[in-house]
Amino acid sequence: MNRRRAKFLVACCIVLCGWAARPALPAQQSAKPAAPAAPQDPTAARFSFAGDAAQIPAVFLRNLIFMPVRLNGGKPVLFELDSAAEKCAVDRKVAGDTASDALQYAVLALPGVQLPFVTLPVISRDDFAQQVGQPYQGTLGRDFFDRVVVEIDYHRQTVQLYDPNVFTYSGQGKSFPLTFAGPVPLIRAKFEVSGHRSLSADFAVDTALDSGVIFYRGFTDSARISAAHFKSEPASYPEVDGGAKIFLGRLKNFQIGPYQLEDIVGDFTQENTRAGADKNIAGAIGSNFLRRFTVIFDFPHQRVILDPNVQLNHDTDEDMSGLSIVAKGPNLKVFEVVAVQPGTPGARAGIVPGDVIAGIGDDAAADLTLSAVRDLFRQIGYQYKVLIDRKGQTITTSLQMRRRI
């Protein structure tokens, strides 16, 4: 028996002993009288101090969520929380530049909870840093969500994890059943676009998608929904289909249960992608929609709970500039323009693909992040002095933000 296998078995024994020795639950989280103990899964989440909850000091980049994780007791790194990912995974560099495609008997430790893995995939995501502005270090996917209840308070930017065996909910939010297409959770929603009757369809729920509501090409083609039916604007976002062309259009309404939103922007992809191969899945609901709620993912009981916050009816501002920007350089501080939509403020300002944004207003690029740059360009009505580096030549231009759709 090798040393790593031995450590894993010892960890499993500790998990079982910790469960057996748990104290009675507090009154506010009390459950039904305990049934006879059942055999425990040695890969189940283990909460510290025989508890059943943990608050995680998560990092929010706009609405994307990164959780501090230690791999096998190593230094803390940030794993992206991805409700649509098939499995948890670790970046090859974080794993020690191993040639293997998986680590055997690994433990991921978050503040207050540990999760053992018989195998943990090792992957590389080369475009992630450019698209997100944050180095890729790992993913918390389906086999994370299957073992804990995950509560995300987007307004307060907090994340709580709970033991699914004792979790109860008594808030004012509404519970909705989840179905699954492979690892991807689906929720039913009702929507209406101009020129069409109201439709109901399944949407993926994707915390790692920094958009509101995306419609897949396969579904819109089958439902005969075309940009010709409503006012639309071309766009491209590096993080959506790798920067492929999309159309922005306003929905007359979008509804999940009692929560109905009017006149919100939808993104209509123009590429036939693997995610949109199933024509019965209309698209995906991303974090820029979920931010309107406290969201509780309870995969073990196949449900999601939505509790609206003060942002419920706050309009989602899309990019106003018409610029698609990625982050490059050793510190991800080189903000390169990779696309400019015609007729937009960016095009009117004379910005072209290949330009590098060296400063905005009084802020130099070194003082900004990709997320901050994109946030500035979502502010309607603002006018910015933008410093451009074009092949070594410095150019100053003015960028007037306006609503595009």
Instruction: Verify that 18 and 158 share a domain, yes or no.
Output: yes
Same domain, 11 and 106: yes
Does the pLDDT at position 2 exceed 60? no
Higher pLDDT, residue 129 or 379: 129
pLDDT band at 131 (very low <50, low <70, confident <90, very high): very high
d(C-alpha 41, C-alpha 298), whole Å: 18
Phi, psi of 220 (to 5 degrees): -65, -35
Which residue type does 148 have? Answer: V
Residue 240: predicted pLDDT: 84
Per-chain mean pLDDT for the chain: 88
Q: Domain containing 380 — which CATH number? A: 2.30.42.10
* 191 shares a domain with 137: no
First to last CA, the chain: 63
Q: Which of 32-41, 234-243, 305-314 has the highest mean pLDDT?
A: 305-314
| CATH number, domain with residue 64 | 2.40.70
State residue 276's pLDDT score: 67
Pair 16, 103 in one domain = yes
Same domain as 139, residue 8:
yes
User: pLDDT band at 316, cuts 50/70/90?
Assistant: low
CA distance 31 to 27: 9
Structurally, how many domains does the chain consist of? 3
CATH number of the domain enclosing 191:
2.40.70.10
365 residue type, one letter: A
In terms of domains, do 151 and 72 share one?
Answer: yes
Is residue 301 situated within a structural domain? Answer: no
Mean of pLDDT values over 311-331? 87
**Share above pLDDT 90 across residues of the chain, in percent, rounded to a whole number:** 71
Q: Give yes or no: residues 291 and 330 share one domain.
A: no
- Distance from the Cα of residue 8 to its chain's centroid: 30
Predicted confidence at residue 143, as pLDDT, reads 95
The DSSP result for 144-197, as a single string, is HHTTSEEEEETTTTEEEEE-TTT----SS-EEEE-EEETTEEEEEEEEE-TTS-
| Among candidate residues 278, 295, 312, the one where a domain is terminated | 295
Looking at the structure, tell me whether residues 274 and 329 fall in a common domain: no
Query: Do residue 61 and residue 93 come from a single domain?
Result: yes
Residue 32 has pLDDT above 70, yes or no: no
In a domain, 376, yes or no: yes
pTM reported for the whole predicted model: 0.87
pLDDT band, very low/low/confident/very high, at 140 (cuts 50, 70, 90): very high
Note down the domain range covering 236: 186-295
Over residues 73-79, the mean pLDDT reads: 97
18 pLDDT tier (thresholds 50, 70, 90) = very low
Domain boundary among 295, 312, 332: 295
* Average pLDDT, integer, range 223-245: 84
Distance (Å, whole) CA 209 – CA 145 = 17
Whether residues 46 and 148 fall in one domain: yes
pLDDT of 36 reads 45
